[in-house]
Structure 1
Amino acid sequence: MRSFSVALSCGRRVGRSGVGRVMGAALACGVLWGAATGCDHGAGVVRRVPGGAPGAVTASPGRPVVEAHVPGVGERWWGRVPASSGQVVVVYGEGRDSAESVVVLYQKRGSAWERTTSWPGHNGRLGWTTDHHMNDERSPVGVFTLTDAGGSLEDPGSRLRYWQDDNAFASMQIPEEAHDHDFDYVIAIDYNRAKGVAPFDWSRPDGEERGGGIWLHLDHGDGTSACVTLPESGLKTLLRVLDPAQRPVVVMGDREHLQS
């Protein structure tokens, strides 16, 4: 078990020896849904999954799913995705008050978006909010850039700038074995944080009351304080695939909010 100073919570300040003040987080993912077409875009045939969730799609065996528009994300939020972005991570929350979600990676191929892969995960244990505040235990709905990463373990090949600091991350663990590896790898979500600094940097441009320290990190089987979690294989994939030159962003929220 790693040492710790104070029980960690997304958006909650904790003390630790030798590193200063830090913010931690625990994340989750959402359930994929949205309108799908039955068109053949050449790279793959998109079709509904029999008996699946509304808008759930799959591809012909061995072929990727390609969409002209990322499904399940309405114009309100899609309009906030920079035109220059070529990679979008969408967190589809199961419900406004649910901690269950699915994380899906989309990459732009020409004018279409390819659904590369997806993973189950979790978000804030009380669900989602469009007005996140410290300790509300809800993940913020919105579109945020992804610029910095880190973890207690060595860089697995991240294309994002990576900070490895075992002392910093170990001090944020809570005293439960289930959380012992939460921060082996993390990707900072640029909600109320300075870009170009380590994920555990305390800077809060919009004020401490707005929370912060919200990350993508390793899943521990249930809801978080505000972060989004996914399996280790998924996090390593994102670290190795997300390219700063593609200006990656995360679009996250419950399905109802995302479709608005």
Structure 2
Amino acid sequence: MSVRTVRGGPRLAAVLLATGLLLTGCAGDGGGVRDAGRAETADKAGTRSASGSAASGSAGAGTGADKGGGSGTGASGPREAHGAEAQRIPGLGPATRAEIPAGTRQAVVVTGINRDSNLASVVVYERDPVTGWAPVTETWPAHNALEGWTDDHNQGDLRSPIGVYGLTDAGGRLADPGSRLPYDQGPAFSVSGTGFEGEPLEGSFDYVVAINYNRVPGNTPLDWGRPLGDDKGGGIWIHVDHGGPTQACVSVPVDRMKELLRTLDPRKKPVVVMGDVDSLGL
């Protein structure tokens, strides 16, 4: 477990909180909450993948396709699953699987009901070098953005970005529940107001995992850098569900957030694979 403080220390956090820059677009705008966090470095503008990052904001470690666990490596390394032996993640088509880096062994799969829905489900999968992918959690209920999903996310469009994005940094208002990712804790994660359906937003950022869309990986989720520009949005997190749709984030129940923080392992180069069911099936 790794713990660090917000770059610039408590003084900077207090200044940013006072100006509203630490509030993210994960919450409904009924409470005046806006996107925050940071942008992931872009590898190639205009692409969505988990290789470094992308203009649609993806990031992660390495490149390469997930094709049922890959092909065998010969005597010099472990045999990887292939052909009928390789278990694939259900619901992911070849284009989506190709975006998962070859070195990734954990995937948080967020599946939206349809393109315009704010209801989704989440399952965490892990990849075994021989048998392929298998679920390691139950299916969790989730919310995404109010208007659903998009291949071209822009600030304020109230849609969550479709794609494969790295998961490298976590934090929250409450103490670290056992995260393996670097975890920033402090009052800057406090939020108030109400969401789109009048639900209270308090506690939504008690635990968060930053999604590497338009942000710099390796920094606190509160970092404000956006390599792709402010108009491409940012501050997109997985966070505690407040009982309603988000501005762009993904939210799950608080117990599931704690489970997620304890499950994600940086050694397994975790990513989130997110989008509506039809888009993920491509």
TM range, smaller chain:
0.7 to 0.9
Alignment of 1:44-123 (within 5 A): 68-111=87-130, 112-117=132-137, 118-123=139-144
Alignment of 1:118-129 (within 5 A): 118-129=139-150
> How many equivalent residue pairs?
206
Say if 1:67 and 1:114, in contact at 8 Å, map to a contact too: no
User: Are positions 1:179 and 2:198 aligned together?
Assistant: no
> Partners in 1 of 2:122 and 2:153 — Cα distance?
20
> Partners in 2 of 1:67 and 1:24 — Cα distance?
39
User: Are positions 1:256 and 2:275 aligned together?
Assistant: no
**Amino acid of the residue matched to residue 134 of structure 2?**
E
Equivalent residue of 1:196, what SS? coil
RMSD: 2.0
> Partners in 1 of 2:88 and 2:243 — Cα distance?
31
> Partners in 1 of 2:239 and 2:183 — Cα distance?
14
User: Are positions 1:143 and 2:164 aligned together?
Assistant: yes
> Partners in 1 of 2:169 and 2:240 — Cα distance?
16
Compute the displacement of 1:215 (Å): 0.3
Say if 1:91 and 1:103, in contact at 8 Å, map to a contact too: yes
| Identity of matched residues, % | 47
> How far does the alpha carbon of each residue in 1:185-210 deviate from its partner, in whole angstroms, 9 at most, with x for none?
00000000011111111100100000
Say if 1:23 and 1:201, in contact at 8 Å, map to a contact too: no
How has the CA–CA distance of structure 1 residues 195 and 154 changed in structure 2, closer, same or farther, with 3 Å as cutoff?
Answer: same
Which residue does 1:16 correspond to in 2? 17
Equivalent residue of 1:229, what SS? strand
> Partners in 2 of 1:93 and 1:145 — Cα distance?
19
Say if 1:252 and 1:258, in contact at 8 Å, map to a contact too: yes
How has the CA–CA distance of structure 1 residues 85 and 218 changed in structure 2, closer, same or farther, with 3 Å as cutoff?
Answer: same
> How far does the alpha carbon of each residue in 1:203-243 deviate from its partner, in whole angstroms, 9 at most, with x for none?
00100000000000011111100000001111111101110
> How far does the alpha carbon of each residue in 1:147-174 deviate from its partner, in whole angstroms, 9 at most, with x for none?
00000001000000000011x111x433
Say if 2:199 and 2:243, in contact at 8 Å, map to a contact too: no
Compute the displacement of 1:20 (Å): 7.2
Equivalent residue of 1:252, what SS? strand
Structure 1 residue runs of 5 or longer lacking an equivalent are 1-14, 28-65
Say if 2:17 and 2:23, in contact at 8 Å, map to a contact too: no
Equivalent residue of 1:88, what SS? strand
> Partners in 2 of 1:140 and 1:180 — Cα distance?
24
Equivalent residue of 1:179, what SS? coil
> Partners in 2 of 1:135 and 1:23 — Cα distance?
14
Say if 1:23 and 1:212, in contact at 8 Å, map to a contact too: no
Structure 2 residue runs of 5 or longer lacking an equivalent are 1-15, 28-84
Equivalent residue of 1:103, what SS? strand
* TM-score, L = length of structure 2: 0.69
* TM-score, L = length of structure 1: 0.75
> Partners in 1 of 2:96 and 2:270 — Cα distance?
15
Say if 2:241 and 2:251, in contact at 8 Å, map to a contact too: yes
